[in-house]
Amino acid sequence: MFTNLPKFVFFTGKGGVGKTSLACATSVNLADAGKRVLLVSTDPASNVGQVFDTKIGNHITSIANVPSLEALEIDPEAAAEEYRERIIGPIRNTLPEKALASIQEQLSGACTTEIAAFDEFTALLTDQALIERYDHIIFDTAPTGHTIRLLKLPGAWSGFLETGGDASCLGPLAGLEKQRERYAAAVESLSNADLTRLILVTRPRTSSLSEAARTHRELADIGIQNQHLAINGVMPEDALGDPLANSMIGREGDAINGISTALASLPQTRFYLRPENLVGLDALRRMNQPVDAMHPEATHNAITHLPTLSHLVDAIEADGKGLVMTMGKGGVGKTTIAAAVAVELAARGHDVLLTTTDPAAHLTETLAGDIDNLEVSRIDPAVETQVYRDHIMATRGASLDAQGRKMLEEDLRSPCTEEIAVFQAFSRVIRAAGRKFVVMDTAPTGHTLLLLDATGSYHRDILRHASETSARMVTPMMRLQDPSQTKVLIVTLPETTPVLEAARLQDDLKRAEITPYAWVVNASLAATETTHPLLVARAATEAPEIKRVQEKLSLRYAVVPMLAEDPVGACRLRALVAG
Amino acid sequence: MTTITVYDPPMCCSTGVCGADVDQQLITFAADLDWLKSQGVTVRRINLSQEPTEFAANPEVNALMQASGGDDLPAVLVNDKLVSRAKYPSREELANWSRVVVKHHETAPQLDTCCTYDTNSNCG
């Protein structure tokens, strides 16, 4: 495992890379060695309680059978909800419902949750009694660079809010100025290499590794130097003659060899793909041992008759035109699924426009000439975001002083900015969906939609004047809410965290009154013919996740197999649809 | 001494990054308020998504909220008397209410905003 760990250890990485598993295994490892350990989860989808089969929650709880380990689960969503309640509670019975709803939406963005989570971190990082009581405090999440940079800007705390008159990403901190010293101390601890180590957790995949490289750079830039790379879920190098295993080993090797020099220079630990989910003490303690499931008697897949993507395409095709959007967290395969659906529709004779934000574009670039009826366009999020930032700096920024401009620049690095810039580009494309199929590999979140829809008032105004103007007037929001015009496909992987995250995306869309059309479970081992014992064992762990999607989360669903090769070209994409 | 209080619609970001477009009207208005301050007028801005209790506490603003649910924001009060709603007033109007004289060259550049602006284009 990891050695010479300091007082504070943070695990960071995208959802589903195994932050919680590694944090739990590390904690048990340290506690078994006699250290006093506090394990803290601030993951809203925390399953630390499930891992240890102990109900934990928002207070420090002893873990059975691990004498010196205690754990604490903090839900940043609940912290954000508390914050919203602090603001809204006092006026709930005075201001009208409509005003309350708009305040609620303003405070429902990613920023509020981020700041609320940081608020919880700082309480722990600056609590002397806790620091003395434990040898190690292990966190299964870490604050983002965006949050830390904001807190380090002097302007965040002083006059800008007054003179500018507006709120900012730090809105949730308004009135908390007295906590300024505590925040400064927390940021100080994070930057102290003797006190804090940051462990970047990644999967052995190109997209996941680039994400780790980006986080590494961002956090190193703001002074967090003590970083470590953990590559989780590496396929052991014995394919046992299985073609899928063989190609996975090759692909992972290429991805790891291709990492940036900055990332390669970090101390590195690799963890092999385990046959089981890391639930329970035995599994956590096995983390250190070689994989022992390489030669079990050949078991066969328990799950059969998984619905293929072609069933979904049949139903989508019936309308003859419309908008199809794939939606999901990074790395789940939104672009692949969008491309496969687009190619299949085009091959069946429909006019299709595929619009993608895929930064690599290798998947879609090859398609343009491949199939009749298919047009491919590309939106570069980096370019769109830059254009948008420049526009705002040139307009709004022009009248601000140096401090105000710095603050504005940081606000423009917030997670909302890219989403909005990209959505603006998309809304230009959306209109084509009245005539043909438009397939996109992204979709705005419910929060963005609600804000962009001018909190519904534009929408309402149009409805109010509908009789006077054109009865056929349609806002982008109305188009997205209408299932006959728009079909949202939620893409996920057959693993616990990705499914939970996808369920949260779906809830967020529901606030905007958009019901996803279907779920697509991508990269399923259960849907392959693999006979590699480790992969067969992994395939079995997919069953409860697929069942949850089928029974609880989706109106209809499809399962797409893990592929031996990247689906480049129309032919391989169509094979994906057939399953 | 004049006190001008502006009750803003809810805004989540100083930048309007969550708006469909950045509202030049807001920039101009912020600059006008700065100018007003430099003339000795007391100016305060209150945002619905940050200090909603202030909206409920002021009888005139509360009445406005009850009537329109917030569609009539921003509201501007001069010495606690409502003088403007559902729009950001011009520098001339602000100056008149405060009995301050606007010299012509001090006027902030006004963009073509008289009929096009939308209080909701900045986030809310």
B122 domain-assigned: no
Contact B16 A396 (CB under 8 A): yes
Give the residue from A542, A18, A2 showing the smallest Cα distance to A233: A18
Which runs of consecutive H residues, i.e. helices, occur in A372-411? 381-395, 402-411
Mind listing the pLDDT tens digit for each residue in A459-511? 445 454 444 444 455 667 778 888 888 999 999 999 988 898 899 889 988 88
Q: State which residue of chain B sits closest to A448, comparing Cα positions.
A: B18
The residue written with tokens 């929001």 in the block is A477
- Chain B residue numbers with beta carbons less than 8 Å from the beta carbon of A166 are 8, 11, 13-14, 26, 30, 47
HEC profile of A294-319: CCCCCCCCCCCCCCCHHHHHHHHHCC
Q: What was the pLDDT predicted at A8? A: 96
DSSP code per residue over A315-355? HHHTTSSEEEEEE-STTS-HHHHHHHHHHHHHHTT--EEEE
Q: What are residue A438's phi and psi, to 5 degrees? A: -120, 120
Between A107, A392, A457, which is nearest B17 by CB? A392
Contact B65 A99 (CB under 8 A): yes
Domain CATH for B49: 3.40.30.10
Contact A171 B62 (CB under 8 A): no
Q: State which residue of chain B sits closest to A90, comparing Cα positions.
A: B53
Average pLDDT over all residues of chain A:
83
Question: Which of B50, B111, B117 to probe by mutation at the A interface, max A CB count within 10 Å?
Answer: B50
Contact B45 A165 (CB under 8 A): yes
Contact A91 B56 (CB under 8 A): yes
Q: What was the pLDDT predicted at A163? A: 37
Contact A90 B13 (CB under 8 A): no
**Residues A76, A142 contacting (CB under 8 angstroms):** no
Size of interface A-B (CB pairs under 8 A): 151
Q: What was the pLDDT predicted at A467? A: 47
State the Cα–Cα distance between residues A430 and A444, nearest whole angstrom.
12
Decide whether A8-286 matches A309-382+411-578 in CATH topology.
yes
Tell me whether B4 touches chain A (CB under 8 Å). Answer: no
Tell me whether A271 touches chain B (CB under 8 Å). Answer: no
Between B15, B45, B123, which is nearest A396 by CB? B15
Contact B71 A457 (CB under 8 A): yes
The b/e string for A251-275 (b: 16+ C-beta within 10 A; e otherwise) is bbeebbeebeeebeebeeeebbbbb
Tell me whether A395 touches chain B (CB under 8 Å). Answer: yes
Min distance A531 CA to chain B CA atoms (Å): 50
Domain ranges of chain A: 8-286, 309-382+411-578
Element holding A230 (H helix, E strand): strand A227-234
A309-382+411-578 placed in CATH 3.40.50.300: yes
Instruction: Please give the residue that has the higher pLDDT: either A162 or A21.
Output: A21
DSSP code per residue over B72-124? T--EEEETTEEEEESSPPPHHHHHHHHT-PPPGGGSPPP-S-TTT--TTSS--
Instruction: Please give the residue that has the higher pLDDT: either A303 or A98.
Output: A98
State the Cα–Cα distance between residues A156 and A365, nearest whole angstrom.
43
B121 domain-assigned: no
Mean pLDDT lowest among A67-76, A99-108, B16-25: B16-25
Tell me whether A90 touches chain B (CB under 8 Å). Answer: yes
- Which of A119-128, A150-159, A164-173, B19-28 has the largest mean confidence? A119-128
Mind listing the pLDDT tens digit for each residue in A184-221? 888 888 899 999 999 999 999 888 898 899 999 989 98
Contact B49 A95 (CB under 8 A): no
**Catalytic (active-site) positions of A:** 16, 18-21, 43, 497
Q: What are residue A565's phi and psi, to 5 degrees? A: -130, 155
B110 domain-assigned: no
Tell me whether A392 touches chain B (CB under 8 Å). Answer: yes
ipTM: 0.71
**Residues A477, A453 contacting (CB under 8 angstroms):** yes
Tell me whether B109 touches chain A (CB under 8 Å). Answer: no
The amino acid sitting at B115 is C
Q: What was the pLDDT predicted at A297? A: 53
The residue written with tokens 């405060």 in the block is B98
Distance of CA A144 to the CA centre of its chain: 13
| A269 token code pair | 């630990």
The residue written with tokens 């672009």 in the block is A335
Question: What distance separates the 2 farthest-apart alpha carbons in chain B?
Answer: 41
Q: What was the pLDDT predicted at A524? A: 95
Min distance A489 CA to chain B CA atoms (Å): 25
Beta strands in A130-169 (DSSP E): 136-139
Between B17, B27, B124, which is nearest A102 by CB? B124
Mean pLDDT lowest among A198-202, A325-329, A417-421, B23-27: B23-27
DSSP state, A436?
S
Tell me whether B49 touches chain A (CB under 8 Å). Answer: yes
Contact A95 B27 (CB under 8 A): no
State the Cα–Cα distance between residues A245 and A251, nearest whole angstrom.
10
State the residue range of the domain holding B80.
Answer: 3-11+22-102
B89 domain-assigned: yes
Tell me whether B71 touches chain A (CB under 8 Å). Answer: yes
| A33 token code pair | 């060695």
Q: What was the pLDDT predicted at A343? A: 93
Tell me whether B110 touches chain A (CB under 8 Å). Answer: no
Mind listing the pLDDT tens digit for each residue in A258-295? 999 999 999 999 999 998 888 889 889 988 777 776 65
State the Cα–Cα distance between residues A488 and A505, nearest whole angstrom.
11
Instruction: Specify the number of domains making up chain B.
Output: 1
CATH classification number, A8-286, choose in 3.20.20.70, 1.10.3720.10, 3.40.50.620, 3.40.50.300: 3.40.50.300
Tell me the residues of chain A between 91 and 150 that have a Cβ less than 8 Å away from chain B.
Answer: 91, 94-99, 102-103, 105-107, 109, 111
Contact B12 A107 (CB under 8 A): yes
Which residues does A469 contact at the CB level (< 8 Å), separation at least 6? A462
Tell me whether B111 touches chain A (CB under 8 Å). Answer: no
State the Cα–Cα distance between residues A379 and A425, nearest whole angstrom.
7
Q: What was the pLDDT predicted at B109? A: 42
Q: Is the dihedral of CA A450, A452, A454, A457 positive or negative?
A: negative
Mind listing the pLDDT tens digit for each residue in A222-265? 889 899 999 999 999 889 999 999 999 999 999 999 999 999 99
Tell me whether A164 touches chain B (CB under 8 Å). Answer: yes
Which residues does B115 contact at the CB level (< 8 Å), separation at least 6? none
